[in-house]
A and B are shown apart, each in its own frame.
Chain A
Amino acid sequence: MSLAPGTAALIGLLGVPALGALVLTVTRNYRLGAALNVSFSALTLLSALTLYWHRPELTLYLLVDDVNTVFLIVGARVALTTSAFSAGYIAHELQTRRLRSRDLRFYHALYQLLMFAMNLALVSNNIGLMWVAIELATLTTVVMVGIYRTNAALEAAWKYFILGSVGIALALFGTILVYLAAEEHLGQGMSAMAWDRLAAHSASLDPALLNLSFIFLLLGYGTKVGLVPVHAWLPDAHAEGPTPISAVLSGLLLNVALFALLRYKLIMAGNASVLAPGPMMVTMGLLSLGFAGFMIFRRRDIKRMFAYSSIEHMGIITLAFGLGGPLANFAGLLHMAMHSLTKSSIFFGVGYIAQLEGTQQIADIRGLTQSAPLLGWLLVVGVVAIAGLPPFGVFTSEFLLVTSTFARIPWLAILLGLGLIIGFSAMMLRLHGLAFGATDQRFSLPAYRLAPMALQLAIVAAAGIYLPGPVVAWFRHVARLLG
């Protein structure tokens, strides 16, 4: 019996991280652990890429379609570079004794477990299974955020835990309501929880129940996305955990939660008599964008500042998907991919900066382009990219979004533009202090350590100048599917 390539890839996608978690639990040597972590991530990416060409058969539990392959590939891509960055990062943490080698074993195993949970959430066709996977992802990140065991880290982990659990509880209630709505038409049991059937039959589902369920799901999974007003855990979790985890949180976990929301949005979209989910998502997105923009001005901690920037960008993406239509969805997808790549590479840089300077306070960090030229300039490039200046990919997606909004709802485009400008100017203001100014400190950082960061920023820059035809066609296709 031979395995179809699609099925094999799906098994690889889920099996490699699961196996990796087990192997890394028993790997004592941290260098070996880090190397294995990178190799497992590489294999996962390979499986994700295979899924682009070969699709496994649809089952009641698992589903690979055009939409989730985008998220899978972007996710596995960022996870691979983050694991490479993490190898250098944790070596330093071990030297400075912030972490012990036992912690690292734990850390690597959790990293793979997190990958497993996120991949499972993305490929699950069953809304209950998706919920379980997102819960698992939350639990692993909670433990990782608290891994330094300082007061601040424990506080952040606890806050994340409580708020995350509340979000999870809301999402479960929403899931139960969706099941109730479906049970009558699709029969009791698993088929009433299968997403593809829900989406196909959504026209016949009870609209009132769907409305109520979407509100619960929006708030529940919205907590995970970090949308205002349920964002409070996000800055703490980003600031106090190890930096690779900040990168993974921003670049991956937020996307996975947003993906869950999109799945439900598609169910809602098939039913003509329900409340339109778009305006709710647009409102929350706009709120996040404006709020986070103002908060960036006041931050004094560098990781916290970029965490608020993540809230801002998740707001933009949610707004784009809420707006809907081929163009806005395209902008949303592109922005999602660009934000993941850019923000994770910024966090790589910030991780090194915090290690070299020994502080995360913005006021204490000055003149990075002089003290560590390569790192400093890469940070400048990253911040310029995330602020949405040309010629980077983030600019392309923001430009697309603003123009498509302007064509449809002009006043919304004005608000959106205002929010973007606030975020942009706050970023630029802070960047000036960080990167320029006189300093007599000199740091040495081997250039190869910066390779993951440089590589990702290069992709973002390339995407801003020229998007390859197949990628455009692929994203267009997915944007159409998203309605």
Chain B
Amino acid sequence: MERWQKTAERANAAPPDDVPIVLATEGPHGPVIYAANRAARMAGINIGARVVDMRALCPDLHVEYADVAGDTAAINKLVLWARRWCPWTVADGPDGLVLDTTGSDHLFGGEAAMLVEMETRLSLLGLTAQLAVAPTWGAAWGLARYGKTRSICTLDQLDAQLAPMPATALRLDSETLLLLRRLGLKTIGALADIPRLSLTRRFVRAKLSGNPVLRLDQATGTLAEPVSSLDAPPRFQAQSCLAEPVQDPTPHLPDLCDKLCNALAQAGFGCRRLHLVVYRTDGEISRVDVATSTPSRDAPHLARLFDDKLERINPGFGFDLITLTASAVEKIDKVQPRLDGSADENLHLSRLIDRLTARFGARSVTRPVLKESHIPERAEVRLSALTKAQTEPVQTANPRPIRLLEPPEEVQVLYAVPEGPPAQFVWRRQAHRVTRYGGPERIAPEWWRDRPSTRLRDYFRIEDQNGRRFWMYREGLHDDGRGGDPRWFVHGLFS
């Protein structure tokens, strides 16, 4: 309403204050009232009622159409503007703001002084505001709309302040409110006095907006309702608007990288992720992402990461806007090159990882890391090289092969004694005669991870007649009751 009034004033078309004015939106049965000015409210106009009914009540009603999308945009702008008071702000419905001012009220001289300051600032914008401070979102919503002016509620007087308020202060939908009114539950206190069990049973299937139990819990703080703030706009972004749609972003990339890296260098940051977005003329967007293993602001290096990826952009009929956004920025210090002009070796390594990852994908470039496990295939995990893993080396006392076959390959075996090493085995259609063996080394299954039917393994180090060394195991024992005869596998190769 006030936004409309301001716009009208700017156009010198503002009607005098005593003319009842309403803003209307289209409802299912004709226009309904969306907002009303003070004169209209005094004349008994209800928000949400149909315009034709209200015309009967107040024949000289002045009706304008509401700009709902404009109001939403204005509220979203106001959300960001309200970050002057605290870092967590979010829009609440079409006409509300929620600020999580925990720990920031002392900056303005206490909660009461903060509310006065907020009201002053908002009135300078031409907006009236009803403000309240409460420990929970729900309580603040109710107090702001149905409580005293600038009411402040602390945690210990929360119940006492909520109790006399009408049930409408619980952010419930109209059907539930009607039901509560028919049940005679007019205030929050009356609702809270009902035994919780019967109330829960009555509303067990209701959604949050129609569930007085959940809403009551939210208002009293039993149910947490955190303020999840809107994302800030990206801090580091470079864009180039093109005069005509083009199909290939390659020539513009070095300039964009230069611009972005200059901005990053001035702020002392480096980026870990880069997003190149092209805005196509047919209204679609198409994007390419790259990542780096260490924060970087080296423009040629970043430009090179996009080398083969630009082909994946679908240009359609061309695009006329390219943006390059740096996300996951981290502070980096300036590094002085050495006296001989060469840079640090770690820098070379991280750039190599970036290039390889950008070209072959993060799943191809890995860094093996040891884990504490006796099962050989679990003793080593492969992490993406982009992640930084700090692990202490785990030493194994027993010899381990230099290559591991994944998965182990089953072999046909001749043996002298069932529990002993093989005498001969056939692996990949070639017979190997066992000349020497070491072991067995028994590795039991990890009962906390494996299925109960998993069999133990007896590992042998085997050398064949040509001197090739294998790591073989027999899975299970004869008569261990977990399947038939044990099978033999080649699991690794020794050097």
- Decide if A and B are genuine partners: no
- CB within 8 Å of B: which residues of A? none
- CB within 8 Å of A: which residues of B? none
